[in-house]
A = this chain, B = another copy of it.
Amino acid sequence: MSTSATQTGSEREISHLLRIQELLEQDAWREAADLLRKLPPAEVAHVLEALPLTQRQILWDLLDTDQDGETLMELTEGVRNELVQNMDQQEIVAATENMDVDDLADFIQELPVDVTREILESLDEQDRHRLETVLSYPEDTAGGLMNTDTVTVRPEVTLDVVLRYLRQLGDRVPRNTDQLFVTNRQDRYLGALRLSDLVTHDPQQTVAEVMNLDVKPFKAYADASEVARRFEQYDLISAPVVDEEGRLVGRITVDDVVDLIREEGEHQFMGSAGLSEDEDMFAPVLESSKRRAVWLGINLLTAFLASWVIGQFQETLDKIVALAVLMPIVASMGGVGGTQTLTLAIRGIALGQLSGKNAIYLVMKELAVAAINGIVWAVVVGLIASYWFHSTDIALVIGAAMIINLIAAAVTGAVLPLVLEKLGIDPALAGGVLLTTVTDVVGFLSFLGLATLFLL
């Protein structure tokens, strides 16, 4: 007992992925599938995601367990869609059998209409009603995030009655139940009864005496990322969700919030490279190429814009070739400086801490930082340039251009994401491209422009 107990999860997991990779290297497909079949859905998903496309597909077909549905929901969306594409209608319907209502609601929205209809028909009245409740709210709201598996009690009963009720429910008490919800006869939410309060109080007390009034419910239309922030700040395990009339419609549990927080982090990180957080590492080449091509194409537009700016100074470049050598430095430093400001601002917006109210302070601070760093690095670059090309004039021009571009970069980096947010454009996705467009254009324009004015 004590050996298996002290083996940590991560060790088991890494050895599973490695072991399966080794088995596949030896073409031992059956053994790999047998090993995989013994793992819980989350580990199966983790292994499948780490396998290249063909290996993944073959293993998936070999698996065919009643855990398929759960495994599908543990996969990132890109990988899931890949696998579902190659499943027939019957397999898909079978996979949905053991899904939670919130998972099923997410899953069903990606399926063709006729498959959806068949799944709906396979549900009993109560489950269909639950599913329709969740489906009636957008995916990125509290309602879309919630599950309908609440256990409710009335305020007037004693804890003893609650304990007996729970014993009756037995295994049907849902996972991650840390508290029961107290509702009146109209289903209105009144408060929460923590299990830890239930077991630590006198069984003769009533629910009303012991229940916690501090647990505020989320409105079903509340923004999902606000819900996540709330869970994070208040260390919540579960929270009630109510409709417009204050009636309890479901509960959100921390495990779904954890997934959401991970996704939000990946969205910012992957988005800045023009990738979706659902991108499959081993997506099919043609599909990947198509998705990437869009991003490269957008970038090409901005690159040509920069080239066009340079093109306006061909005469200048023709006369002083040193300018061509030095010009990428100004553009590049602007891009780096601006990206730092942009990154701070995007995080501030995502955390709900940056708005029109305090943006001016951020702009001022970033301007000051840019001015200081502009001057410092203008001197350094100027010295190197004057030594390299034996020209004080070039040194002065590149120094001035650097200061101008870093300042333009700071203002753009701070203001742009707020403007994008106002326009309903995701700053994490569009911010970087637009910023470097500005810093490229301003960089080349200021450097070559100043050179044309003062050096010719």
Binds B, one of A91-99, A123-131, A162-170: A162-170
Q: Could you tell me if B222 and A50 are in contact, using CB atoms closer than 8 angstroms?
A: no
The digit string for A175-207, where 1 denotes a CB below 8 A from any CB of B, is 111100000000011100001101111100000
Residue of B nearest to A239 (CB): B9
Say yes or no: is A274 at the interface (Cβ < 8 Å to chain B).
yes
Cβ-neighbour of A226 out of B10, B274, B388 (below 8 A): B10
In this complex, the member of A173, A231, A244, A328 whose beta carbon has the largest number of chain B beta carbons within 10 angstroms is A328
Segment 369-421 of A: residues with Cβ below 8 Å from B: 369, 372-373, 376-377, 380-381, 384, 388
Whether A21 contacts B307 in the complex (CB less than 8 A), given A9-B216, A229-B10, comes out as: no
Instruction: Say yes or no for A354: interface residue by CB 8 A criterion.
Output: yes
For A, the interface residue count at a CB cutoff of 8 angstroms equals: 152
Q: Would A17 and B352 be within 8 Å (CB), given that A288-B365, A340-B295 are in contact?
A: yes
Complex partner residue of A234 from B9, B293, B321, B345, CB under 8 angstroms: B9
For A9, A11, A222, A259, which residue has the most chain B Cβ atoms within 10 angstroms?
Answer: A9
Can you identify 15 A-B contacts, CB atoms within 8 angstroms?
A6-B219, A10-B229, A74-B233, A173-B196, A173-B200, A261-B261, A269-B347, A273-B339, A297-B380, A300-B380, A310-B325, A311-B388, A321-B324, A324-B324, A324-B327
When chains A and B are docked, how far (Å) is the Cα of A73 from the Cα of B321?
A: 56
Is A368 close to B, CB under 8 A?
A: yes
Q: How many copies of this kind of chain does the complex include?
A: 2
Contacts of A286-318 to chain B: CB distance below 8 A: 286, 288-289, 292-293, 295-297, 299-300, 302-304, 306-307, 310-311, 314, 317-318
- Contact partner of A5 (CB less than 8 A), chosen from B176, B189, B261, B314, is B189
- In the complex, A190 Cα to B351 Cα: how many Å? 41
Cβ contacts under 8 Å, A440 to chain B: 328, 332
A214-251 vs B, Cβ < 8 Å mask (1 yes, 0 no): 00111100110011011111110100001010100000
Give complex CA distance A7, B163 in Å. Answer: 30
Would you call A324 and B333 a contact (CB within 8 A)? no
A453 at the interface (CB under 8 A from B): no
Q: Verify if A265 is at the interface (C-beta below 8 Å from B).
A: yes
Residues of B within 8 A of A352 (CB): 10, 13-14, 17, 46, 50
Is A358 at the interface (CB under 8 A from chain B)? yes
Q: How far is the CA of A240 from the CA of B223 in the complex (A)?
A: 33
A401: shortest Cβ distance to chain B, in Å? 13
Q: Knowing A258-B232, A296-B373, A373-B292, say if A329 contacts B357 (CB, 8 Å).
A: no
> Is the CB–CB distance between A358 and B50 below 8 Å?
yes
CA distance A253 to B117 in the complex (A): 41
B303 contacts A166, C-beta separation under 8 Å:
no
- Interface stretch, picked from A108-116, A132-140, A277-285, is A277-285
Q: Would you call B281 and A307 a contact (CB within 8 A)?
A: no
Q: Is the CB of A178 within 8 A of B337?
A: no
List the 10 closest A-B pairs by CB distance, nearest first: A265-B265, A10-B226, A42-B233, A235-B255, A50-B353, A324-B324, A52-B361, A273-B343, A9-B230, A289-B372
Listed residue (A142, A296, A440) with the most chain B CB atoms within 10 angstroms of its CB: A296
A18 within 8 A of B: yes
A38 within 8 A of B: no
A255 and B166 CA atoms in complex are apart in Å by: 26
Interface membership of A446, Cβ < 8 A:
no
Contact in complex: B357, A18 (CB < 8 Å): yes
Inter-subunit contact B377/A297 (CB<8 Å): yes
Shortest CB–CB separation between residue A3 and chain B, in angstroms? 8
Q: B50 near A354 (CB under 8 angstroms)?
A: yes
Q: Are B21 and A358 touching (Cβ within 8 A)? A: yes
Task: Please determine whether B8 and A222 come into contact, CB atoms closer than 8 angstroms.
Answer: yes
